[in-house]
């Protein structure tokens, strides 16, 4: 199925500016055709799109349907390329979301047709979710934008801890490697370069990018010393299905003020079997450091770091091994995902410029920053905050 973009829609890019989307926005007739599969919804011919998401890795939209009592029913419809998410992979994600919903977590309810909850069509696969109540305060914020307030950071920490408590009994195996896939396999390996080479062999799109670079030397230089510090703790962290993409724009809020609480959790696209510590490190790394600012003088919000950690520990105290590991996991937590992002840009959307940004600025650049005085100060700060738990 060929799709063409219709200007003037723009999406978030890898930098501060808006860019033409990699994936054209959903069309009304496309949404109505999809919803026609779901007889329990009723009225697909009256479905209308009220908002297109600017998030870059899929096409998503809020859709309104006539509802009971005259109130419109709001759904979220997403279209993914099959090279990124297969129907099976999406349904793995949906199983986890249903488990969390059954354990009192405010996550979107997945819509199914009494048999499937993901529908392939040509080169794409679709999903439909109920729209959660709550204010989308960070709807227009770029990913990795820091929290607007210390109160939001503390609330996010508490919500993440509740999610980890809820997910403790979930026993599904890890999702298979794919573009845009969160994992801690490489950073937990006794030989991370060999593990990365094995991944590149299994994922030809990633392998094609890497074979044109001296990646072994570059990754050894950037990752080696940092991963060696984390490795003694890797085997002490219990596996846990986690969100793995915890940042402000993936949360809904109870109000518009600085003391708002988390009212809902969005976007489980990176959910996978990792660890609670990995998820918490991701939350700190993605929401308290000014990654979108120039590397020299990049702002670090230690007040937000403290708030996330304090909020989390008020609900789920860290185990001693987790407290010891977190300062050393923080600098390398992005590595596995960064390699999957390189594959996405190189082999799926075929953007050489963005593939190089993902490799040079994200994968290697973050490692370099965490080895700098600023990065080392942040890790030392986290270590001091957690020292009493070791």
Rounded to an integer, the average pLDDT of 188-207 is 98
Task: Give mean pLDDT, residues 199-207.
Answer: 97
Q: What are phi and psi of 223, to 5 degrees?
A: -90, -35
pLDDT > 90: percent of the chain: 80
Task: Please provide residue 210's backbone torsions phi and psi, each rounded to the nearest 5 degrees.
Answer: -70, -30
pLDDT at site 17: 59
| pLDDT higher than threshold 80 for residue 45 | no
Least confident of 53-57, 361-365, 379-383: 53-57
CA pair distance 17, 276, nearest whole angstrom? 33
Enumerate the β-bridge partners of residue 275: 239
Can you tell me the distance from the alpha carbon of 213 to that of 215, in angstroms, rounded to the nearest whole number? Answer: 5
| pLDDT score at 14 | 59
Contact 29, 36 (CB under 8 A): no
Can you list the domains of the chain with their CATH numbers?
A: 11-130 (3.30.200.20), 150-389 (3.90.1200)
Contact of 123 with 1, CB cutoff 8 Å = yes
Residue 162 CB contacts under 8 Å (≥ 6 apart), including other chains? 105, 315, 316
* pLDDT tens digits along 52-107: 988 889 999 999 988 766 678 899 999 999 999 999 999 999 999 999 999 999 99
Nearest-angstrom CA–CA distance, 48 and 27: 9
Q: Is the pLDDT of residue 13 over 90?
A: no
- Grade residue 2 by pLDDT with cuts at 50, 70 and 90: very low
**pLDDT of 142:** 78
Is-cis flag, bond preceding 8, omega within 30?
yes
Q: What is the pLDDT of residue 287?
A: 87
Q: Which DSSP string do the residues of 316-339 spell out, in sequence order?
A: SPPPHHHHHHHHHHGGGTTHHHHH
Q: How far is Cα 5 from Cα 234, in angstroms, rounded to an integer?
A: 44
Closest to 270 measured CA to CA, from 239, 244, 240: 244
Q: Are 274 and 164 in contact (CB under 8 A)?
A: no
d(CA 114, CA 45): 21
pLDDT in tens, 238-269: 999 999 999 999 999 999 999 999 999 999 99
Q: Please tell me whether residue 346 adopts helix, strand or coil conformation.
A: helix
Name every residue whose Cβ is closer than 8 Å to that of residue 41 and which is 6 or more positions away in sequence: 35, 65, 73, 75, 111
What would the mean pLDDT of 192-200 be, rounded to a whole number? 98
Find the radius of gyration of the CA atoms of the chain. 20
Beta-sheet strand order (sheet of 48-52): 48-52, 59-65, 73-81, 124-130, 119-121
CA pair distance 293, 384, nearest whole angstrom: 26
Q: What is the pLDDT of residues 141-157, one digit of tens each?
A: 877 789 999 999 999 99
pLDDT in tens, 262-295: 999 999 999 999 999 999 999 999 988 988 887 7
The backbone torsions φ and ψ at residue 27, rounded to the nearest 5 degrees and listed phi first, read -105, 150
Sequence-separated (6 or more) residues with CB below 8 Å from residue 152: 137, 248, 253, 258, 260
From residue 89, give the alpha-carbon distance in Å to each of 84, 127, 349. 9, 11, 19
Q: For the segment 119-144, what is each residue's pLDDT rounded down to a tens digit?
A: 999 999 999 999 999 999 998 887 77
pLDDT above 50 for 4: no
């Amino acid at each position: 199925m060929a799709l063409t973009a219709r200007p003037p829609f723009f999406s978030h890019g890898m930098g501060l500016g808006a860019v033409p989307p990699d994936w054209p926005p959903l069309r009304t007739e496309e949404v109505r055709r999809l919803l026609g599969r779901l007889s329990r919804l009723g009225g697909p011919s009256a479905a209308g799109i009220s908002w297109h998401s600017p998030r870059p890795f899929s096409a998503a939209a809020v859709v309104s349907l006539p509802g009971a009592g005259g109130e419109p029913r709001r759904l979220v419809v997403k279209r993914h390329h099959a090279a990124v998410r297969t129907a099976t992979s999406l349904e793995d994600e949906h199983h986890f979301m249903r488990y969390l919903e059954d354990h009192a977590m405010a996550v979107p309810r997945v819509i199914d047709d009494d048999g499937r909850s993901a529908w392939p069509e040509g080169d794409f696969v679709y999903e439909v979710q109920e729209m959660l109540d709550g204010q989308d305060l960070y709807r227009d914020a770029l990913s990795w934008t820091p929290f607007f307030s210390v109160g939001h950071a503390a609330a996010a920490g508490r919500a993440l801890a509740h999610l980890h408590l809820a997910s403790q009994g979930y026993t599904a195996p890890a999702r298979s490697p794919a573009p845009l896939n969160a994992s801690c396999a490489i950073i937990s390996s006794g030989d991370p370069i060999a593990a990365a080479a094995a991944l590149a062999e299994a994922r030809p799109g990633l392998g094609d990018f890497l074979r044109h670079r001296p990646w072994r030397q570059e990754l050894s230089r950037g990752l080696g010393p940092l991963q060696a510090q984390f490795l003694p703790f890797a085997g002490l962290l219990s596996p846990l299905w986690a969100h793995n993409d915890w940042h402000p724009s993936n949360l809904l809020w109870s109000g518009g003020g600085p003391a708002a609480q988390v009212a809902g959790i969005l976007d489980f696209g990176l959910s996978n079997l990792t660890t609670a510590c990995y998820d918490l490190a991701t939350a700190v790394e993605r929401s308290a450091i000014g990654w979108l600012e120039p590397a020299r003088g990049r702002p670090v919000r230690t007040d937000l770091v403290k708030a996330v950690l304090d909020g989390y520990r008020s609900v789920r105290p860290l185990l001693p091994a987790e407290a010891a590991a977190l300062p050393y996991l923080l600098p390398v937590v992005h590595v596995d995902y960064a390699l999957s992002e390189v594959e996405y840009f190189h082999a799926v959307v075929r953007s050489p410029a963005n593939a190089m940004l993902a490799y040079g600025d994200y994968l290697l650049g973050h490692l370099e920053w965490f080895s700098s005085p600023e990065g080392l100060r942040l890790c030392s700060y986290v270590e001091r905050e957690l020292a009493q738990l070791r």
